[in-house]
C-alpha cells in the first residue's frame, strides 16, 4: 500500500518505520523534508499526500485544522487514519473535523489507544497485543492488514465507533497512572 504518514515524531516515525519494514511504500510528510530519522524517506507534506492512498495523521491535534484545510484537495477520497488525541475537548478524535474539511474522506480511528512504545514493541509474553479500531466495514481488511503489519492484532469495534475506541484510550491512561507510570501496558481480548 502507498501510505503517507504526516508527523514524524514518536508515533509517526515508529509506525512509518514498521509499515515500511513490512513492505509498504511509506513516505513521511514533514515540515523539515530531507532531515533523516532513518527508515522511510522524509518529504514535504504535500508530496507525502500526493503519493498516498492511505494517510496516517500523527500530528498534535492543534495542527490538524490548518493541515486539513491546506491539503483538503489531495486528501479527497482517501482513507484517513486518525491517530491524534485531543484531551480536554468534547471528543478525543478528529472525526468531525476530518468530515467537515474533507467530506469524501474515508475515516478510520486507530493507533491512538496505546503509548507509542507498544507500537515499537507490540509483543507481550510471546503474543501480540490487541489494537481496537473503527472504520467503515469496507475498509476493515485494509486496517487489519496495516495493524498486523505493525505486529499488533486487530480488534474491530464496528463502523463509526471512534468514541468507543477512545474509551480504551482513557482506560489505558488510567491503567498507566495506577501502575506507577508504566507505559508498557496493552490489551488482549479473550474470545472462544
Ligand X SMILES: NC(=O)c1ccc[n+]([C@@H]2O[C@H](COP(=O)([O-])OP(=O)(O)OC[C@H]3O[C@@H](n4cnc5c(N)ncnc54)[C@H](OP(=O)(O)O)[C@@H]3O)[C@@H](O)[C@H]2O)c1
Least distance (Å) from ligand X to the CB of residue 20? Answer: 16
125 CB-side CA count, 13 A: 4
4-43 positions binding ligand X, by CB under 6 A: 6-12, 31-32
Q: Kind of pairing, strands 123-124 and 127-128?
A: antiparallel
Interaction between residue 141 and ligand X (CB under 6 A): no
What residues pair up with 28 in beta bridges, in sequence order? 5, 42
Span of 17-25, 112-120, 136-144, 157-165 interacting with ligand X by CB under 6 A: 112-120
Interaction between residue 45 and ligand X (CB under 6 A): yes
Cβ proximity of 3 and 10 under 8 Å: no
Residue of closest CB approach to ligand X:
9
Contacts of 80 (CB under 8 A, 6+ apart): 55, 57, 98, 102, 105, 106, 107, 108
Of the pair 105, 131, the CB lying nearest ligand X is at: 131
Cα-Cα-Cα-Cα dihedral sign, residues 72, 138, 110, 162: positive
* Interface with ligand X (CB under 6 A), residue from 43, 83, 98, 108: 83
Binding site for ligand X (CB under 6 A): 6-12, 31-32, 45, 58-61, 63, 67, 83-85, 112, 115-116
Amino acid at each position: 500500500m502507498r501510505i503517507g504518514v504526516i508527523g514524524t515524531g514518536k508515533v509517526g516515525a515508529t509506525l512509518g518505520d514498521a509499515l515500511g519494514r513490512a513492505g509498504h511504500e511509506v513516505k513521511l510528510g514533514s515540515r523539515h523534508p530531507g532531515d533523516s530519522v532513518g527508515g522511510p524517506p522524509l518529504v514535504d507534506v504535500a508530496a507525502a499526500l500526493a503519493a498516498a492512498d492511505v494517510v496516517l495523521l500523527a500530528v498534535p491535534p492543534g495542527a490538524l485544522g490548518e493541515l486539513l484545510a491546506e491539503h483538503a484537495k489531495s486528501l479527497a477520497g482517501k482513507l484517513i487514519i486518525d491517530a491524534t488525541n485531543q484531551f480536554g475537548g468534547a471528543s478525543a478524535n478528529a472525526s468531525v473535523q476530518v468530515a467537515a474539511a474533507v467530506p469524501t474522506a474515508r475515516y478510520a480511528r486507530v493507533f491512538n489507544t496505546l503509548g507509542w512504545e507498544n507500537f515499537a514493541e507490540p509483543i507481550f509474553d510471546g503474543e501480540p497485543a490487541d489494537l481496537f479500531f473503527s472504520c467503515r466495514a469496507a475498509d476493515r481488511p485494509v486496517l487489519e492488514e496495516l495493524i498486523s503489519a505493525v505486529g499488533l492484532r486487530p480488534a474491530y469495534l464496528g463502523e463509526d465507533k471512534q468514541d468507543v475506541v477512545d474509551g480504551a484510550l482513557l482506560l489505558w491512561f488510567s491503567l498507566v497512572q495506577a501502575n506507577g507510570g508504566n507505559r508498557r501496558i496493552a490489551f488482549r481480548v479473550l474470545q472462544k
